[in-house]
Amino acid sequence: DIQMTQSPSSLSASVGDRVTITCQASQDISNYLNWYQQKPGKAPKLLIYDASNLETGVPSRFSGSGSGTDFTFTISSLQPEDIATYYCQQYDNLYTFGQGTKLEIK
């Protein structure tokens, strides 16, 4: 099994802040890494696919980078509507989600 470790597990930031979440795979997964946003009571939403590709319709303040085992998700300027839990997900070998990062407004 491939394990995905996200950090931090929770994060408090102010509107306008740059926010960064990391995701580490237990083995090399190339760029087979996606990022999702889940707001309370809602289904997850795809934001970034293949580590760095922005899904259609997703604001450009969201971005992703990385390859191999280390990946980063960034919100360049936090907005109030970005309050959610964010998950990484690998698909190199079956599928595994990270444990999630809960983002709150300070």
Partner 1 sequence: EVQLVQSGAEVKKPGESLKISCKGSGYSFTSYWIGWVRQMPGKGLEWMGIIYPGDSDTRYSPSFQGQVTISADKSISTAYLQWSSLKASDTAMYYCARRRGDLGAFDIWGQGTMVTVSS
Binding site for partner 1 (CB under 8 A): 1, 32, 34, 36, 38, 43-46, 49-50, 55, 85, 87, 89-92, 94-100
Judged by beta carbon, residue 62 or residue 87, the one nearer partner 1 is 87
Compute the least distance from the CB of residue 87 to partner 1, in Å. 6
CA distances from 96 to 6, 29, 52, 62 (A): 12, 11, 18, 22
Nearer Cβ to partner 1, position 45 or 61? 45
3-class state of residue 30 by DSSP: coil
Residue position matching structure tokens 């959610």: 84
For residue 61, the minimal CB distance to partner 1 (Å) is 20
In the complex with partner 1, which residue's Cβ is closer, 20 or 53?
A: 53
For residues 69 and 24, the answer to whether their CB atoms sit within 8 Å is yes
First-residue to last-residue Cα distance in the chain? 36
